[in-house]
């Protein structure tokens, strides 16, 4: 007798359906895990960018304050503005360090301003020191979600003031230090106390940052106690 060869046997419909269900379940689990990882990475990248922006902003602000210089300027109507014109939530100052790599015929001093507008911290810079009637700052947005932005100014007697300069103070005078408090909606409050290089000569400085009238530059320790006080 001839043997009948066995007929090849494939998967039944039920087996195929079971395999498809298992594969679909595994794919759904894997996709959910990958999606969660992608969302976590995106959120982490956003937080890193936010933190980097905060650090960069505070670094720029501290740099500008440390480079403050006794250089009053003329305002839009010819009035004399102090070297530092500060209130509780806004500050405008003259600073050294305005880079001039092309050796252009301009000052190495820059006039900058920090202010908050609609919960956005902004830095403005003027193209010239002594302004014309239509001069306005060029603004740059720094960081958002600002809860509050406050300044205080330490005078020569060691008292903190809400505005600078105080009454009957020369326009060239600088505070001994400036306190900055920046409250963010998501990171809480940041506080910095920046010691300034003290007031340069009463005659002020010229356009290139050098003292006018050949007056000597006196730079006492800005954190030293005021005269007549004991440590």
**The pTM is what?**
0.69
* pLDDT tens-digit map of 128-147: 888 888 889 999 999 999 99
d(Cα 64, Cα 190) in Å, to the nearest integer?
A: 17
What are the chain's domains?
61-214 (3.10.610.10)
Average pLDDT over residues 156-174: 92
Backbone angles phi, psi at 76, to 5 degrees: -65, -20
Residue 179 DSSP SS3 = strand
Question: 54 near 190, Cβ under 8 Å?
Answer: yes
* pLDDT tens-digit map of 38-76: 888 888 888 889 999 999 999 999 999 999 999 999 999
- Residue 207, both tokens: 């356009």
Of 21, 135, 147, nearest in space to 81 by CA:
135
d(Cα 21, Cα 120) in Å, to the nearest integer?
A: 52
Where would I find the H helices in the chain? 13-66
CB atoms under 10 Å from CB of 175, counted, come to: 28
Convert 21-43 to b/e letters by CB count within 10 Å (16 or more is b).
eeeeeeeeeeeeeeeeeeeeeee
């Amino acid at each position: 007798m001839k043997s009948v060869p066995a007929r090849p046997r494939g998967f039944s419909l039920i087996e195929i359906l079971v395999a498809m269900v298992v594969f679909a379940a595994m794919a759904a689990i894997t996709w959910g895990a990958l999606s969660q990882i992608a969302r976590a990475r995106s959120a982490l990248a956003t937080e890193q960018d936010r933190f980097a922006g905060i650090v960069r902003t505070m670094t720029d602000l501290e740099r500008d304050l440390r480079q403050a210089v006794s250089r009053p300027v003329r305002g839009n109507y010819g009035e004399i503005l102090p070297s530092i014109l500060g209130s509780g939530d806004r500050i405008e100052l003259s600073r050294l360090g305005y880079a001039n790599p092309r050796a252009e015929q301009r000052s190495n001093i820059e006039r900058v301003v920090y202010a908050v507008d609609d919960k956005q911290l902004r830095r403005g810079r003027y193209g010239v020191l002594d302004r014309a009637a239509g001069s306005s700052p060029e603004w740059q947005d720094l960081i958002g979600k600002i809860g509050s932005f406050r300044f205080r100014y330490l005078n020569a007697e060691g008292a903190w003031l809400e505005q600078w300069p105080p009454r009957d103070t020369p326009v060239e005078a600088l505070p001994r230090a400036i306190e900055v408090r920046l409250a963010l909606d998501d990171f809480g409050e940041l506080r910095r106390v920046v010691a300034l290089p003290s007031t340069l000569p009463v005659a002020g400085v010229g356009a290139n940052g050098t003292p006018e009238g050949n007056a000597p530059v006196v730079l006492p320790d800005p954190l030293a106690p005021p005269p007549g006080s004991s440590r």
